[in-house]
Homo-oligomer: A and B are copies of this chain.
Amino acid sequence: MMTKDAIIQKLKESGLRVTPQRLAIIEVLIEKGHLHPGAGLIYKEARKKSRSLSLSTTYATINEFSRHGVIKTLQFDGVENRCESNLDEHINLICERCGKIMDYKIRPSVDQKDMTRRTGFVVTNSRLEYYGYCRDCRQDKKRRQVP
């Protein structure tokens, strides 16, 4: 997770302006990053800080940040995409009931050099996900056995 200053610096280095709208979104990404927020939540929260922010701008900013490596976007279908601000290699534990996304730290296990030698494929980015049920939802499921 990059710090606020690191993000601001990165934007400046890339020749991007640090506007009130972008600042608001940066702050939300830092405050709510662990939730892996989607555009909707980011929009809702950032609007509290920069009241005129539009949804278009929120999407554009998310894309801009993603393009410059400030965040990654976790793309889904049917449901909102989510933002990943933890750039270290880890597995996202995604609850299929409540949609919560938790980080699970791992040590890199695949020898990418070896993989590239064998397949010719060069990795620029990774996405590791386990789907299932979080502790809360497992218990809820148990309780509901007798509905």
Contact = CB atoms under 8 A, between A and B. Distances in A.
Interface stretch (A20-28, A40-48, A128-136): A128-136
Contact of A102 (B75, B106, B121): B121
A124 interface: yes
Contacts of A138: 120, 122
A91 B119 contact: no
Given A78-B75, A81-B77, A132 B121 contact: yes
B110 A134 contact: no
Contacts of A131: 123-127
Contact of A127 (B77, B104, B119, B129): B129
A123 B125 CA distance: 23
Interface of A: 75-78, 81, 91, 93, 95-96, 102, 104, 106, 109-110, 112, 115, 119-135, 138
